[in-house]
Each structure stands twice: as C-alpha cells, then as structure tokens.
Amino acid sequence: MLEKMIFGRYIPGTSFVHKLDPRSKLSFVFLFIIAVFLANNAVTYGILLGFTLLVIFSSRIRIYFLINGLKPIIFLIAFTFLMHIFFTKEGAIIVDWKFIKIYEEGLRQGIFISLRFLVLVLMTSILTLTTSPISITDGMEDLLNPFKRFKLPVHELALMMSISLRFIPTLMDETDKILKAQLARGSDISTGSIKQRIRAVIPLLVPLFVSAFKRAEDLAIAMEVRGYRGGEGRTRYRQLKWHWRDTVALALLGVLVAALVLLRG
Amino acid sequence: MMKEVLSMDHVSFSYQSEEGVTEKAIDDISFAVQQGEWIAIVGHNGSGKSTLAKLMIGLLFPDEGEVNVFIQKLSEANLWAIRSRMGFVFQNPDNQFVGSTVQDDVAFALENNGVPFTDMVTRVHESLAQVNMSNFHDHEPHHLSGGQKQRVAIAGALALKPELLLMDEATSMLDPQGRDEVIRVVEELKTKTGLTVISITHDLEEALLADRIVVMNKGKLLTTGTPTQIFARGDELEAIGLDLPFAMKVSRLLRESGMELFGEHMTEEELVNGLWTSHFSK
Ligand SMILES: Nc1ncnc2c1ncn2[C@@H]1O[C@H](COP(=O)(O)OP(=O)(O)O)[C@@H](O)[C@H]1O
Ligand SMILES: [Mg+2]
C-alpha cells in the first residue's frame, strides 16, 4: 500500500520538466495554484485540464502510474463530487428518481470543484515526482532569500530540511533493526488490543530516540569541527542555473493565465 | 629539520560531573608530534583517548597545561583558523555524513570556509580520487558501505588540504574489509603526500603501521616508542587490557608450550620467518 503512494516520492528522469530549475518549478506551481481559482466556466476548466495534461505529458510520467498512486486522493475527490451533487439545490432538476433529486447547479459545481481539486493534486505531484527533495530545498532557500531581511532564518531552515532528508533512510534502517531485535525478544506489535499494541511500540521508540539524540550530538560536533559557523560567509556547492527552458515554462504559464482571464465568464 | 605540528604540555582535564567528584580523564600528559609522522594513540576503552582528541581540536580546553597546534597555543581566538588546517574523522560513519550525496559531503568543509565554487569542484574531484571514490560522486550515504563512508569522510577532510589528519577510532565500526580499505588509503596518503597522521585506536594491529605509538592508561600516558619498542613490552600491554596482534599471540603461546622461538613476532610474516628458521639457530 505504502509503496504505491506517490505522495512525496521522487522519480529520477531526464524529461523537460525534470530538467527545469527547482526555483522555476516552485514558482510555477505556486502561481498555478492561484491561477486555478480564475477558472469559472466549462471553457476555462477545460483549458486548465488540458494544460495539466500537457505538463504531465512533458514530464514523461505515465498517467496510469499517477492515477494508481493517487487512489486515496481520487476517493476524496469522488466524495467531494457526491457531496456537491446531493446537497446543492439550485437550477433545474435533471434527475428525479425515487428519493434522489439531482439539480443542474449541483452537477456543475460537483464537476468543477472536483476538477479543481484534481488539477491541483496532479500539478503538485508532478512537482515532487520530478524534483529531488534536496533540489526543492535548494530552490526554497533561494526563493526565500529576500525574507532574510525580516529575520527569517532561511539558511538554517534549509539546512534543517536537508539534514532531516539525509537522515530519513538512516533512521528507517535503525527502526527496522530495533523492530527485529524486539521481535526476537518476543515483542509483538501486530496483534492484541489497541492498548496492547501502543504499549508494544514504546520499547521501539525509546531506543530509537536515544540513538537519534546520540546521532544529533555527534553530527553537531562533526559539523563544528569541519568549520560550520552558520550561513554567514559560506559559499555554496550546489549551484542553481536558470536556463532558457525555465523562461519558456513561466511564459507558458503566463499564456495560461491570459487565456483564463480572457475566457472566464 | 623537523617541524613540530602538535604538542601537549602537561595537559590535565576532568569532566564536571553532577556529584562534583571530578576524576581526571586526562592526567598530566605531554608529547609532541613532528611533521610527516604517523602517530598511533592506543589505550583501553575509557582511557581518555577521545578526550585527548577533543582537546586537540578545541572542543574541550585543558584545566592545566597547554595544547599547541601549529606552534600556536590553541585558544578560542585562533580556534577556527587552526581547525581549517586540520582534518578530523570520527568513529561513526553515519553520524558525520552531513551532505545528501558524496560530493556534497566532501564540499561541506569547503563551503564553510568560503572557498569559491570553481575551486570547490576541482578540490572535490581531487579528494575523491585520492580515496579511490571517484565513481561515487552522486551516491547517497545509505547506499554506501561503512568503509566507503569513512573514505568519504577522509576525502572531506583532505579537501581542505590539511596539515594534520586526526582519526578517532575511524575503523572500529567497520568490517575487516572496510577497515583494510581505510587503512590502505591512509597509508597511501602518508607515503604520497607526507601528511601527518594521528590515529586513535584500540586495535594494536593498526598501531603496528605507525611510526610511533603513544600508550594511554586511565588518563595517564604510560609510554611512547616505536612499534618494536612498544610491543617488546607485550605483558604490560595485556595487563592494561589491550588485545595483542594475532601473530604475537601465536608466537607467545608457541613459546609457552616449549618451542624455541627468539624474540617477539609482530606480523604474520615475521612469525613465519621465525618459525622456519627456528631450527637453524640450534
Ligand atoms: N561527556 C562526558 N562527561 C563526563 N565524563 C566523560 C564524558 N566523556 C567521557 N567521559 C569519561 O572520561 C573518561 C575517558 O573517556 P574517553 O575519552 O571517551 O575514553 P576513550 O575514548 O579512550 O574510550 C571515561 O572514564 C569516561 O567515562
Ligand atoms: Mg573514544
């Protein structure tokens, strides 16, 4: 189940979208999220959907893979759709069968809102699927740089994020080891009442935390010894490069916004 | 003309404990390290080796005595300048890997010291080549073995072109193969670049490779000398809880059971030579 979830996963590749600078992708998605709310009729929603499909196509991520990975979200979208259909009571009645009455406005709202939801989820998934977490961090750090003036600790936040990302697999391995060690001692976290199971998790968490703190201490010492003194006077090894394709991507978004503004009802 | 790289001058240090009882973790230690030397510091667990290392890089400051690095007294004022001239490799391969990929980690110290981007790229490549990790630039730490991670840590230290490499039990968490890889890399560096190395270990086999050995016992300096001098006192080493090299143990056991063997045999080769010539001296 968890392997199929694609939320937050990164699939390496060499497509147009993969090669975009993380800064342009992040601003693209951010602006797109705002632009989505411009759509308010069939034409504009159609354009939005078409545009999203175009982006998916140029990321070379298979639609089947996307839909499969987003199943839990699709359920949520379907639920939203049904809510609108049954609870909006405006416009002409189009279906009247026994106790079920579906109004025209309900159907319209249901389709639009679900489409909006779908497009947002697809676009953000494409972002995380085509950008490595560390690139996202780099992009964020760069985009947020102006906020340093307002005392936002941008460098520290980015470093925190990259270290957390770096230690996820390490701590996962550790959890696995501890789990096996406790299982070998007869602990059982998969049966029994909820209360029993929660109690069985404690001997897992305690050693995990102890070791995580030990790691944090070691890491802090290692960083200090290697000359880390905060962001001041630091150079960067990861360089971000703006290419013509980034300009093209943002220009395309500009075209989309213009079309939405012109064609909205 | 020998140049002094580091010296300890009557250094003592004790940790502040909650009960206020302070036993000295380091007790009146003095020794000096010359340029180009490979020094091994050996001692049982808790003998104060890591504390000594922390005093050398200014993570701790001595209660009494002086620590001099590059002929300057180590103090808060020159701490960062001195650190940028030395490399440090710790025990746990995972807990010192800061970057998200091999090359990011090697560049970490360079970034901290404000090295310009173009220099960084060449230095990262050079350092990784020096530790035979050139094909691993984009690898993530969890896809590397312990030995590989330690070699990356060494590359990270080398990137700053250090004058002194300090290793605190850098091989103790590795499997035999990883351990050999790391030792081979350090040996190679030593012969090629004349790097000064201080290697802390409780593995006497590794200490055999050093030019000079410093033996610690309960915070005190027991003795210093060449490996031959030190291993001539095998009984004392065993008495303070150190595990003798395998060849040496075999040679001692053989003599105990009545074989006529002359002298100590520190390596397997020496032992074999000692064995096949043992009848000639009759
Ligand atoms: N942070 C600390 N606080 C208090 N005591 C410590 C601390 N670190 C080490 N010690 C004590 O100092 C002594 C020397 O420890 P250490 O230098 O780590 O030895 P080694 O590295 O040779 O195993 C030990 O008795 C240890 O318990
Ligand atoms: Mg130690």
Report which DSSP code applies to B136.
G
Q: B177 and B210, same structural domain?
A: yes
Q: B216 and B179, same structural domain?
A: yes
Q: What's the pTM?
A: 0.85
Q: B185 and B78, same structural domain?
A: yes
Q: B167 and B155, same structural domain?
A: no
Q: B44 and B141, same structural domain?
A: no
Residue pairs spanning A and B at CB distance below 8 A: 84
| Cβ separation B95–A229 shorter than 8 A | no
Output the pLDDT for position B282.
57
What is the B18 CA–ligand 2 centroid distance (Å)? 21
What is the B54 CA–ligand 2 centroid distance (Å)? 10
Q: B72 and B2, same structural domain?
A: yes
Looking at the structure of chain B, the number of domains it has is 3
The better pLDDT of the pair B249, B67 is held by: B67
Q: Which tokens in the block code for residue A260?
A: 């939405």
The residue type of B177 is: Q
Ligand 1 atom at minimum distance from B168 CA: 21
CA nearest neighbour of B158 among B179, B183, B129: B129
Does residue B255 sit within a domain?
A: yes
Does residue B92 sit within a domain?
A: no
pLDDT in tens, A10-19: 888 899 999 9
DSSP H helices in chain A: 16-19, 22-36, 42-59, 63-69, 71-87, 104-130, 133-144, 154-184, 194-225, 244-263
Angle, to 10 degrees, between the axis of helix A22-36 and the axis of helix A244-263? 0
pLDDT in tens, B233-274: 888 888 888 888 888 888 888 888 887 777 777 788 888 888
List chain B residues with CB under 8 Å of A214.
95
Using the Cβ of B146 and the Cβ atoms of chain A, whether some distance falls under 8 Å is answered with no
What span, in angstroms and rounded, lies between the C-alpha atoms of B86 and B261? Answer: 44
Residues B130/A246, Cβ–Cβ less than 8 Å: no
Q: B175 and B71, same structural domain?
A: yes
Using the Cβ of B109 and the Cβ atoms of chain A, whether some distance falls under 8 Å is answered with yes
Output the pLDDT for position A1.
41
Q: B175 and B150, same structural domain?
A: no
Q: B167 and B61, same structural domain?
A: yes
Which of B130, B145, B160 is the last residue before a domain boundary?
A: B160
Domain residues for B190? Answer: 1-85+163-229
**What confidence category does residue B77 fall into, taking pLDDT thresholds of 50, 70 and 90?**
very high
Q: Which residues of A185-209 are buried (b: 16+ CB within 10 A; e: fewer)?
A: eebebeeeeeeeeeebeebbeeebe
Q: B81 and B2, same structural domain?
A: yes
List chain A residues with CB under 8 Å of B111.
234-237
